Every structure is written in structure tokens, then in C-alpha cells.
Amino acid sequence: MVRFLNTFLINFILQSLSIEGIEEVYLGVSGYFNYKALHDHLGNALRVRTPKGNYRLVRIRYQPNEDSVGNAHSARILLHYYRLREPVLVLQGDTVAKVSARSMYKRHVETGAFMTIALKEVKDERELKHFGVARLDESWMIKGFVEKPKNPSEAPSRWVNTGIYMLSEEMIDFLLSEEFGEMVKQGKGDFGANVIPRIVEEGRPVAGHKLEGYWFDIGTPERYLEASLYLLKALEPEALDVSTVYRGVRMQGASPASKFLQVELIEKAATKTIFFENDVLLGRHIRVGDGSRIDNSVIDNYTVLEENVTVRGSVVMDRCYISSRASVENSIIGRHSRIGSGARVVSSYLGDNVTVEEEAQLYDCKVWPHRVVKRGQVCKGETII
């Protein structure tokens, strides 16, 4: 339910799946608050707009009120509860990816795999330490993983587990079996840590599938910001639900009031009263004061920037208020936050409903939700809890 590219992350994921022809989604969600937020937002279906302007319905189903000890156990609960006995595509809730379900399924069928795992090549070998790295044979069947190798030389390849899986009917039988039930009792209910090593060890065929499109695990603020700014450049305006484009600026909102504000922003930019640089995504009902500059950033709905504000390389979530002369650089500003006059936020991550008072300075800081950074306070490399 985090905001992502001026929508909710779950909406972004479901829209991507709908474009691939997915019509039914089963959410493996545990815990009251997680479930309640999703159910209140999605209900039993989501109306998804395709890039061509058409609409599709994605039917939504939820995990019953049973505790799970890992994502594979969650899948077991869903498979049993909804009596699913056909191939299933599994994705993680913090994964942003362009998945060709058809090509993955084709690979899955051709290999007769028990399970197919989407793999992504990591260009920077230093990043391999964050992932499970695949050991592959010449036909791209998976023979195991090296989990988070500390030394890149220990990695058997540069192809990492994306957490995107295709399950065969035989794999579903395994997840529903007493054998896996015993694993669950031992707390071994995770695909990556428990299930995949088990089935590889037993010699069951596990196929690798090259993921050609983008893929981001946005489980950290750093990766969230990286994904946001990459997709800001990479996606077509239609995929971002954009109604107006002015040079590199993409503006959302199709109502008469939205259009009026968009024309006003374009006129200000044309007369150099405000400044846009590189790629920018603006949500609905954004107000930008004179002298302000937005560079390579995402600004969510109902956000106000007063005069002479600078936002660069950042994500500012919805209903924020940034006062005059403040600057935000390479940072994430959580929902409903306020940045005071003359404040500076650099390479920092602010939770929801944070207040940064006048002339405060934050460098490489993390601020938990609902906290106040006092007037003139200087924070360097700290976590404010």
C-alpha cells in the first residue's frame, strides 16, 4: 500500500499483470492491519486501465485468517482454500517488474519443469551479495543457489532469483502434501530458503527463465528511489496515467480543474517563472510557487511547493507541503509531511506525517513517521525514531 509513481504499489503491480492477461489474483496477506488496508482499498475487484485506454477487471481473492510462516506456506493456504489445481504465477508484494507471463509459461511447458524461476542478470557484481545467485547448467536448468555471496568470486553466475515463480500442477501437489506440511511445522515455509533447495536436492526439474524487462526489489528506500526514477524515464506516459505532457514533464489528472492547473504550470514554465528539468511526474492538483525548480522527481497529488523551492532526484508523496526556500535532494518525503522554510533534506528518507521545521538540515538521515525535526536542528547520518 506504499505510494509508488503517484498510485499505490499494489495498483501498479495489478495493472502490469492485467496487461499480461491475468484476470484473477490471490493475495497472500497475513496480519489484521495488512489485510484490512488491502481489502478496504481493493475490495473484490480492481478496475484497471490498459495503455490503450480500455478497462479490465481483475478479480481479487484474499488469504483466509490463517497465520503463515513464509510465502510458500501462504501459497499452500491459498491453493487449498480456493482449490487451485492449475499453473500459478507467484510474485512478491515488494517487487516491481515487467513480466511476460506468456513467455515464462512457454518456457515452463517446454521444459516440463516442476517449477520455473525468473532470473535477472545483475550487471554490478557488488550487488550480488544482496541476492540468491543461480547455479545453471548448459540448458539453463537450475542446480542450486548461492545465497547472498559475500565475495563476488563465490557467485556461480550473475543471474539472481527475482522471487517470480511459475508453479506446475505437480508443484502444487507438493505444496499441499504432508511432506511440505511437516516442513511448515518446523517453520520451513519459505520458497527461497526452504522449498527451492529441497526440490533441487530431490532432483526435480527447476527451470531458469531470463527476465528481459525491468525488475526491482523495492524493499529498501534506496531501491524504491532507484526504481521510481528509472521508471519515470522508461515508461510511456500512458502507463503512468498521464493526461498532459510538456517536454519532459508528465502531468496527471483529466478533470477541468486539473487541466486548468496544468495550463497554469505550463505557462509558468514557458515564461521561466518556474523551472522543470529532465523528467518530472506531477500528480493531481499540484501547486508550484514562483522561482521553484523541479528536476528529475516525482511529486504526488495535492502537494504544495511555495516560492523558491528546489526538489531534485526525489519522490515527494501525496499531500505534502514544502515551504519557501526549502530544498529536497535525492530523498523520499512520506505522505502528509511538512518541510519548513529554508530547511534542507539531502539523501534522507522521511516516513509519513513528518514535520521538518524551519532551517533544519538533514543529511543521510532516516525519520520515522509522525516525528518532528526541530527548528534549526542538524541531523547527519542519524535515525530519528
Task: Answer with the one of 219, 241, 263 that is the final residue of a domain.
Answer: 219
Domain for residue 224, yes or no?
no
Q: Are residues 54 and 114 in the same domain?
A: no
In whole angstroms, give the CA distance from residue 31 to residue 48: 26
Q: Which of 166, 197, 219 is the last residue of a domain?
A: 219
| 239 and 182 together in one domain | no
Q: Which domain holds residue 193?
A: 70-219
pLDDT in tens, 90-115: 999 999 999 999 999 999 999 999 99
Supply the pLDDT for residue 56: 87
Residues 6 or more apart whose Cβ sits within 8 Å of residue 384: 365, 366, 367, 368, 371, 373
Backbone angles phi, psi at 336, to 5 degrees: 65, 30
pLDDT at res. 345: 98
Is 131 contained in some domain?
A: yes
Q: Which residues of the chain have pLDDT under 70?
A: 51
Inter-residue contact 10 to 4 (CB < 8 Å): no
Relative orientation angle of helices 178-185 and 71-81, to the nearest 10 degrees: 140
pLDDT digits (tens, 9 = 90+) for 32-56: 988 999 999 999 999 987 767 778 8
Q: How many structural domains is the chain composed of?
A: 3
Is 115 within a domain? yes
- Same structural domain, 240 and 212: no
Please tell me the pTM assigned to this model: 0.93
How high is the pLDDT of residue 31? Answer: 86
